[in-house]
Amino acid sequence: MDKDFKTDLNNWALESIAFIALDTRLQCFDEKNKSPDADILINGMHKFFELSYELDKNLLYGDTFRHRNAAREKMKTQPPKAPTEMSILEKLIKIDRKTAVVMAMDMLFAGIDTTSTALTGILLCLAKNQDKQELLRQEVSQIKNNSLTANDMNNLPYLRACIKEGIRMYPVVSANARNISQDIVVGG
């Protein structure tokens, strides 16, 4: 896989997870405004997985706590949001602050690599099956204003199927492997 492509997927995953978990934009695709912490978080994740027994946790947690604290301050100064507009972090903080911190850290640390790896598998499946890629393109092209929302997913069964198939064919972790409990005969 092209190293730049993997970097783009990691940036996309970090940007998405930071927005969903912390309601924070790190500007991962805008070199002029990119948060200096974005590359630190991604590189830290790679080091964590490769050298977890040597990693000094304070390095990663310090950056995460700074973003968490910034998110807290942002939430204090903004007017209240409707529950449907709240980030996961905002919803969890209302329930339990400690759980919110742990969940946000887990989403950042575990989510970057797994999300970009899952997307790689999905895109590989589509690249190998261009006829299926075309069917997906046709389905997604029907979205009005070219703006895909979570609500649109209910009307995109082929997209959901492509995501599931990509993850089935290229599981992110071995725990996702599908095993049968007894022998079966397929196609005959």
Selected residue with higher pLDDT from 5 and 92: 5
pTM of the model: 0.55
What would the mean pLDDT of 145-153 be, rounded to a whole number?
80
How distant, in Å, are the alpha carbons of 1, 14, 22, 109, 174 from that of 18? 25, 6, 5, 11, 25
Rg (CA), the chain: 19
Is the pLDDT at 90 greater than 90, yes or no? no
Q: Residue 30 has what pLDDT?
A: 87
Buried b (16+ CB within 10 A) or exposed e, 34-53: ebebbbebbebbeebeeeee
Nearest one of 22, 4, 188, 12 to 104, comparing CA atoms = 22
Report the chain's mean pLDDT, rounded to a whole number: 81
What would the mean pLDDT of 99-104 be, rounded to a whole number?
79
Selected residue with higher pLDDT from 164 and 57: 164
Residue 15 near residue 25 (C-beta atoms within 8 A): yes
pLDDT cut 90: percent of the chain above it: 19
- Helix spans in the chain (H): 3-22, 36-50, 57-77, 88-95, 97-128, 130-141, 157-169
pLDDT band at 151 (very low <50, low <70, confident <90, very high): confident
Q: At what angle do helices 57-77 and 36-50 cross, to 10 degrees?
A: 140
Could you tell me the residue ranges of all domains in the chain? Answer: 5-80+95-169
Is the pLDDT at 53 greater than 70, yes or no? no
pLDDT band at 56 (very low <50, low <70, confident <90, very high): very low
Is the pLDDT at 43 greater than 70, yes or no? yes
Is the pLDDT at 71 greater than 70, yes or no? yes
